[in-house]
Structure 1
Amino acid sequence: MIAGLITSLCRTVKVATGFHGVMCTDVKISELLSEIEYFSEEEYSYGFMIDGNGRALMHPLLPNAAFVKFEEDPVLVDISVLERAQAAQTVIESMKSGGTGSKVFNKVFTKPRGKLVNDGSKDINLQAHLVWGPIPQSNFSLCIVLVDESYSEIKESQFIPSDADKDNGFMFHNRDLLSDNYENCKFYRRKATLDHSSVMFTPSAFQNPFQFIDSDETAEDVTKYKNYITSTGSNPGFKSTVRSSVWATYKAEQFWKQNPINYTSWRYLGTKSGIMRTYPGIVLHKNFDHEKRPWWRQALGHPHTMYLTTPYVDGWGSGIVLTFIHTLHKANSSAVTATVAADFPLQYFNWFISKIYPSCDDGKSCIIIDNSGFIVMHPRLKEASDETEFNEPQHITVEEPGFAEILRKNLVLNFKECQDFSKNTNLRSYRVIMPSGSSGGLNIKEEEYEFEIRPVADSNLFIIRFQAKPSSGCVCDKEKTPDAVQCTDPCQCLCHEPITYDICANRYNTESASSPCSARIPDTSGKNKPDVTDGLKTCFTPTCHLKTTK
């Protein structure tokens, strides 16, 4: 059975006597339109395709065609629902009639803030450059949308490594394919090496992404990769940005090795060009793609911010972790080139907070939430070791409805809705924002309770310090996702409301409607199974018996 959406390409068959029949072939839409799917000239640039009736076949606000399940209905909407700018309507009419052209105007770009059902989307108004034209011998039209500041490649001339650095700068993550002399060690439940970071190429690195997805890499492939990276062989199918990105990110490995720290799980760097570099070096799951991971979308949704995720179970095998992540930009540019991150065990983070906020352990308690209202640290979870507690993040409306109710009344916790066309719902998510005049925080005091909430500088976090919890009659079900909770409860849990879709006209009512949601991007990365580590020494020796302080 073919995975994802397909389309049938058909032609009439004629013989001397006239019409004879129709010949068709079924093609995956994701493969047919792979150039559009992986087009990314810049963070906000994209492409979309429509048919002669204006129906959107591919658009970044629609579900990825490659991951639509066979039991799911395809999301087919009129392009005017997704491209709502008044100036875009003449573009759409031209495309429907097979015209060509270009136009510049301001429009709203919708981008994810993280995982859609948790964090929602954000809207940014930018000047857009649209170029469109028909696809020959079809009723399809393609439009490319660019912004003023286009993504510019990292030039190889800026990072010319020495011959030694060329050899040392690339170690393919799956070392079983090529033998090497690097020393192995045990890092949590993984076989790792401290000699080098590992490099993985995701689909974005290849000129033909789906050829990479549909095939298993071999020793011959890795040899070609290495020869190209070290400038001793031809390009095996990479995009032009790949080699310079490998050279540039080697600087990160050099820094990591020169500055060892034993309280992190992993340090890694992912680039827009499809490079994933990880230290210590380990093998990653074949399907791993950092651009589909929630932390990548959260970082891009919060550029120039030290972003901290909620605790989660590490798919690489190091238990319950949190990720610190920050965007990287080219000099004099706001365009994101890469993200750099480090994973910390939950226990270390709890100790770190106790150290910098001693009042959290001295007569008061603390809760840390992110700017979507999800729990990052909570007294109940401080000593938790059951990984099932961290399969999904918990929202403050679920874990602490009393605080949530008061924060809503004080305009700190505010909800925002967006139209999710994959579910035909208005999806509700929250934003934590300090009110005007209270950017440094709030002291909230009533007869029954008293607490304070402060933003953590240069981050996405807010800390709540209290002695006694306020009570509430609200209860939000922690077992249900927003997709399963309809917004009829005055408690204002994470929820949804149905939206009306006119199936005959293929239209939604967009008058006074909320903005479209960003697409639900499935995380297909998979989890690595524990490696066989029998007989390996540990990568880091904690030497706890020699330490005199916690």
Structure 2
Amino acid sequence: MTAALPVFINSEFGGIVALDMTLNELLEESTFFRPSESSSAFVVDESGLVINHPLFPYVNDLDSLIVEATAFERDPEFQSIFESLKAGETDQKSFTATRYFADGNDTRYGVRSVQVPSTYYWKPILGTPFRLCVVVATNEMRTTPPQLAPGPPFVYNRLDIERPENPCAYQQQYFCTTDHSTVALSPRSFTLAEEYVLMIETPSWVQELTDYMEGRSTTPTNLKEGVRDSVTLTMEAENLWTSTSNKNSILFRYIATQDGVFRGYPGCILPKGYDANTRPWYDHAVANPDKFAVTPPYMDLNTRELVVTFSKVLYASSQQEDVVGVMGLDLTLSGFDEIIRTAYPECERFDTSCLLIDKGGFVVWSEGLIRTPFSNLVHITTQEMEISSTLIQRDVLEIRRCATIEDGKYHRTYKISREMPFASQTFTGTDGQCFNFSLKLVPDTNVYLLVRDASSSPVGCPSGISRCLCSSNVPGDETVACSTDDVTSCQCPCKSNNPNYDPCTNSYNNSAPDVIQPCVPKSIRNLDGSDEEVSLQSLPVCFAVGSGSNDNVGLIVGVVVGGVVFIVLVALCIIGARKVRKTRQQVKKDETPPTPRKVPDSSPPPFPQTFVATISGSDGYEEAEVSEYTNPYLDIVN
């Protein structure tokens, strides 16, 4: 964007003075204003066209359509706000607004809508044609941090500035330490986000930050209230991380808080501006708040390797209302493969094939994953076209749509609509093979195990079933066009023209009976780091990863994941017990810091029993009966 003013000399026009800036720099504060998942801010111009909005994709996308705010804010009560914004007025209004949340970390997962009592505050931005609107969830519970006692050690992730006592090389490419976890702060941790984005992290700045975090200074470094408490509370996890002996398959362990604090182990240097709240594992955990979220394989931002992440939402209280952060761990693909094969021995049979898919139908694990890893999302409709068609016909796999407002299109998405197990009749596939299949939820997670069994006798096997229309589509490519606009047919995830968008008027008809909900765009990218490379020569290896056998890997994952959840939740419940509505209360300085409770001893739950399915009914379809079993590979410590 260019800002320009005329220059006059003795009342005569002398030229133009102008300044170029990116919209990202201009709108940094509104971008990172997210005190909660239900509160946000957006900016429009004098015509009501959106400049920045939570449902608008990254602001540097030059191909985006610029449309009116009513395309995103669709409640009838917003219309009067929209007119007031265009008129340049200052006002506020409260009503129950519709909020849209992603069902995963990608538009291909679709959205879920929630009704949230909200208050809209708006005013013009002086000296500009822009208007700012701040939306606050009026009934959300705000927390007041206790007077926690800060203390060492605080280890900032800039190990190149403050060199650790025992540095090591991790994965042959990262300067790390196994003595401590390290902390990184994102722009959302700072009162003035753009000031942090533009500054250089000098040794004096790191020392000032360390003094504040360890209680030697009372002057915060442009930090938001509560950031130091988040750093102190997450320190509880380090004791568990450093005491875990098994490290073969676990790459990283970490916790990210809503206010931008990221603590990871082993402690390594991270790019400046690293924002964990925009990573796939964070989005999947928030989209599955009552489960342990397992991500499809994705490219780790630090190691540039494909990993699978287990993550879990952290709440401010036992009521599970306010999300305060997410914790997780990264596993190597080989380690994840070992866990699945150990938990599900039926997948090792020559006449059986297995897939692990998430609730959106995307493949999390397959038997060929280790041999030929995939870097894009792969959907069940491309892997098992006949099975997908059957699941859609039986209302197990639900077809959904969401609109990408910025390009006038809509995405066809899918969601597994029930958690009850499902078992099919026997079919003849297009390859002439007779088979049946079952689908069951992995308890306490967002993933389902699909087992295709070809051991059935071909005698009396019915003829083939219909297949999804995916032959012309490229697996993993989100830009492919739908083969047909029939909203009931089975197709791969695809895009098509939005019937609610009129390109002639550049507007959306949100009163249409078949109006499509807006997609939630991918999170904004992390800022480009400018850190200098650190030499790894002569450094010892931190520890080996990805080799050897882990006989008790399920238990190890359970201890790391479940144990951290328990410890951090206990600590955060101290905050939750002190919550107040809307306003923060001053904490007395002489208040004694609370003492976190100890984690009780807990033996691992029993290994899963055998899956048993019975089929009845003339059409061959019936919900399967399943014997009771626990989580087959996480062994969560509840």
TM-score range, shorter chain: 0.7 to 0.9
User: 1:325 and 1:228 mapped to 2: Cα distance?
Assistant: 30
1:371 aligns with 2:359: yes
The equivalent of 2:540 in structure 1 is 536
SS at match of 2:250: coil
My pick for the range that moved more, 501-510 or 33-42, is: 501-510
Q: How does 1:441-480 map to 2 (within 5 A)?
A: 441-448=421-428, 449-468=435-454, 473=467, 474-476=469-471, 477-479=473-475
SS at match of 1:408: helix
Paired letter, 2:96: N
The equivalent of 1:509 in structure 2 is 509
TM-score under structure 1 normalisation? 0.87
Gaps of 5+ in 1: 1-5
Distance 1:425 1:187, change over 3 A: same
My pick for the range that moved more, 255-264 or 265-274, is: 255-264
1:56 equivalent among 50, 58, 62:
50
SS at match of 1:265: strand
Q: How does 1:55-94 map to 2 (within 5 A)?
A: 55-65=49-59, 67-68=60-61, 72-94=62-84
User: 2:549 and 2:122 mapped to 1: Cα distance?
Assistant: 68
Q: CA deviation at 1:403?
A: 1.6
User: 1:30 and 1:48 mapped to 2: Cα distance?
Assistant: 13
1:395 aligns with 2:391: no
Q: CA deviation at 1:160?
A: 1.8
User: 1:546 and 1:118 mapped to 2: Cα distance?
Assistant: 35
Say whether the 8 Å CA contact 2:107–2:519 is kept in structure 1: no
User: 1:104 and 1:543 mapped to 2: Cα distance?
Assistant: 57
Q: CA deviation at 1:88?
A: 0.9
Q: How does 1:104-503 map to 2 (within 5 A)?
A: 104-150=94-140, 152-153=142-143, 155-157=145-147, 159-161=148-150, 166-168=151-153, 170-184=154-168, 186-187=170-171, 189-233=173-217, 234-262=219-247, 263-317=249-303, 319-331=305-317, 332-362=319-349, 364-381=352-369, 383-384=370-371, 386=372, 389-434=373-418, 439-448=419-428, 449-468=435-454, 473=467, 474-476=469-471, 477-479=473-475, 481-488=477-484, 491-499=490-498, 501-502=501-502
User: 1:546 and 1:144 mapped to 2: Cα distance?
Assistant: 50
Q: CA deviation at 1:443?
A: 1.3
Give CA-to-partner distance per residue, 1:379-409, whole Å, 9 cap, x none.
Answer: 222x42x5xx321121111122122111111
Distance 1:522 1:97, change over 3 A: closer
Distance 1:447 1:223, change over 3 A: closer
My pick for the range that moved more, 49-58 or 20-29, is: 20-29
Q: CA deviation at 1:357?
A: 2.3
SS at match of 1:75: coil
Give CA-to-partner distance per residue, 1:94-116, whole Å, 9 cap, x none.
Answer: 22222232222122111222233
Q: CA deviation at 1:254?
A: 2.0
SS at match of 2:251: coil
User: 1:399 and 1:76 mapped to 2: Cα distance?
Assistant: 37
User: 1:191 and 1:14 mapped to 2: Cα distance?
Assistant: 56
Identity of aligned residues (%): 25
Paired letter, 1:339: V
Say whether the 8 Å CA contact 2:178–2:265 is kept in structure 1: yes
SS at match of 2:360: coil
Q: CA deviation at 1:22?
A: 5.5
Distance 1:174 1:407, change over 3 A: same
Give CA-to-partner distance per residue, 1:429-453, whole Å, 9 cap, x none.
Answer: 111122xxxx421111134331111
User: 2:534 and 2:341 mapped to 1: Cα distance?
Assistant: 32
Q: CA deviation at 1:245?
A: 1.2
Gaps of 5+ in 2: 429-434, 456-463, 555-638
Q: CA deviation at 1:482?
A: 2.5
Distance 1:57 1:108, change over 3 A: same
User: 2:320 and 2:549 mapped to 1: Cα distance?
Assistant: 48
My pick for the range that moved more, 83-92 or 415-424, is: 415-424
User: 1:368 and 1:354 mapped to 2: Cα distance?
Assistant: 11
Distance 1:354 1:471, change over 3 A: farther
The equivalent of 1:3 in structure 2 is none
Say whether the 8 Å CA contact 1:203–1:213 is kept in structure 2: yes
User: 1:347 and 1:188 mapped to 2: Cα distance?
Assistant: 18
Paired letter, 1:417: R
Distance 1:117 1:531, change over 3 A: farther
User: 1:86 and 1:132 mapped to 2: Cα distance?
Assistant: 17
Say whether the 8 Å CA contact 2:167–2:539 is kept in structure 1: no
Say whether the 8 Å CA contact 1:426–1:496 is kept in structure 2: yes
Q: CA deviation at 1:203?
A: 1.4
SS at match of 1:184: strand
My pick for the range that moved more, 120-129 or 465-474, is: 465-474
User: 2:495 and 2:271 mapped to 1: Cα distance?
Assistant: 34
The total of aligned residue pairs comes to 526
Paired letter, 1:445: Q
Distance 1:128 1:523, change over 3 A: same
Q: CA deviation at 1:541?
A: 9.2
Q: CA deviation at 1:325?
A: 0.2
Distance 1:226 1:91, change over 3 A: same
Distance 1:482 1:64, change over 3 A: closer
SS at match of 1:519: coil
User: 2:504 and 2:547 mapped to 1: Cα distance?
Assistant: 70
User: 1:124 and 1:452 mapped to 2: Cα distance?
Assistant: 32
Say whether the 8 Å CA contact 2:176–2:542 is kept in structure 1: no
Give CA-to-partner distance per residue, 1:510-532, whole Å, 9 cap, x none.
Answer: 22320111123344478999973
SS at match of 1:360: helix
Q: CA deviation at 1:339?
A: 0.4
The equivalent of 1:28 in structure 2 is 22
User: 1:520 and 1:549 mapped to 2: Cα distance?
Assistant: 33
Distance 1:314 1:62, change over 3 A: closer
User: 2:308 and 2:550 mapped to 1: Cα distance?
Assistant: 27
Distance 1:533 1:361, change over 3 A: farther
User: 1:185 and 1:28 mapped to 2: Cα distance?
Assistant: 37
